Amino acid sequence: MIDAIDVDIYGRSVAFLVEITPEEFDRFYYDNVERITDEEYRDIRKDILNEKEVGGVTWTLDSGMYLVYLRDGRSDKFVPHEILHVCNCILYDAGVTYDRTAEPWAYLVGWMTDKYYRKYCDWIDKVEKNNKKKKK
């Protein structure tokens, strides 16, 4: 799944690369070449393909684009972990200060998690429907 979530209140967009192949990442790069430097592309590709099998990574690119990679889009460990990272980046870059209530973080993490799982579930449904059609 390659999809984006726009965080309009902060004027930001987060690209999610979930369960993708190296070839899919290459296509994503070529579609976004004006937003990803060659060095960022090489570093991200290396992280995605590394031998340690990274479960998830979040990047803030020089262009201001946020990029989240998840090896397993259902992971109870990595999905919330990376969503917290990207929400932290968004709020930090927006100058939001942290206090004891952490309300901006709580709201944004909850909102982002909801948006993410809606997109992920829609994608899974489409994949399953396509697989059923291929079997017929």
pLDDT given at position 51? 55
Separation of alpha carbons 114 and 110, rounded Å? 6
Q: Which tens digits make up the pLDDT trace of 73-129?
A: 999 899 999 999 999 999 999 999 888 999 999 999 999 999 999 999 999 989 888
Q: Which tens digits make up the pLDDT trace of 17-60?
A: 999 888 898 999 999 999 999 999 998 888 877 656 778 999 99
Q: How far is CA 74 from the centre of its chain?
A: 13
In sequence order, the 6+-apart residues with CB closer than 8 A to the CB of 5 are 13, 14, 16, 112, 115, 116, 119
Beta carbons of 4 and 13 less than 8 angstroms apart: yes
pLDDT at 10 over 80: yes
In sequence order, the 6+-apart residues with CB closer than 8 A to the CB of 88 are 105
Helix axes 38-49, 22-31, angle to 10 degrees: 160
| CB-neighbour burial class of residue 24 (10 A; exposed 0-12, middle 13-18, buried 19+) | middle
Separation of alpha carbons 106 and 74, rounded Å? 21
Beta carbons of 15 and 38 less than 8 angstroms apart: no
| Domains of the chain by residue range | 2-135
pLDDT given at position 53? 72
pLDDT given at position 31? 93
CB atoms within 10 A of CB 65: 17
